[in-house]
Amino acid sequence: MPNPNHPKPGSSTLVQPIRQLEDIQSIKKLLASKPRDLLLFTLGINNGIRTGDLLTRKISDVHFAKPGQTIQIRESKTGKTNTLSVNREVYKALRGHLEASDHRDDEYLFPSGKCRQKPLTIMAVSRMIKSWCKAINLPGNYGAHSLRKTFGYIQRTHFGVGFELICKRFNHSSPSVTMRYLGIEDKEVLEILTHEI
């Protein structure tokens, strides 16, 4: 029987956003006993920052962060400055992670399970996200980029944020790039034709 969490041979291997709020809540419940993983998931879907830039954060970057605070970081891919926001969900997950065990300020926020002096790798995060989605029976292809894509997708479809703003947040060259990146499907575009004016 084919694995619903992997694309068919020859098909696109682009990872998808998690599109339903209920699925996001299911993953949060699944990770309730894993504070590091819950923080990674929560931080990713609430900020839309590349996973690689989250993995290089140290405890010292966020140790004293408060709800509503923003932290400036430099993107490794673009060299541009970006903002990491600590909303209430992020703060709750952050405190849970920091209080779960002793952490030194010079340690990575998301340490590898094998060595606390090294961060998780993007490949490890991709495997983790695939396993979370499989555990809640969510069909599709998911990976490290799914966190960033989920942020943009939920901002657009649930909160009604325009592509121009999400494009700016992602440092994309144009809104059309953002549309493709988020996997906005044709049926969603066609739905606007049902709005009566």
Q: Is 85 helix (H, G, I), strand (E, B) or coil?
A: strand
Residue closest to 39 by CA, chosen among 115, 104, 128: 128
Q: Is 172 a catalytic residue?
A: yes
For residue 182, the number of C-alpha atoms closer than 13 Å in the C-beta half-sphere is: 28
Verify whether residue 195 is a known catalytic residue: no
- The answer to whether 148 is a known catalytic residue is yes
In contact, 37 and 51? CB cutoff 8 Å:
no
Please confirm, yes or no, whether 181 is among the known catalytic residues: yes
35 Cβ contact partners less than 8 Å away, ≥ 6 residues apart: 93, 96, 97, 99, 100
- Of these residues, 108, 142, 153, 181, which one is catalytic? 181
Catalytic residue among 19, 130, 148, 149: 148
Catalytic one of 36, 145, 156, 169:
145
Catalytic residue among 66, 77, 80, 195: 77
> 19, 36, 50, 149: which is the annotated catalytic residue?
50
Q: Which of 6, 92, 127, 172 does the annotation list as catalytic?
A: 172
Which residues are part of the catalytic machinery?
50, 77, 145, 148, 172, 181
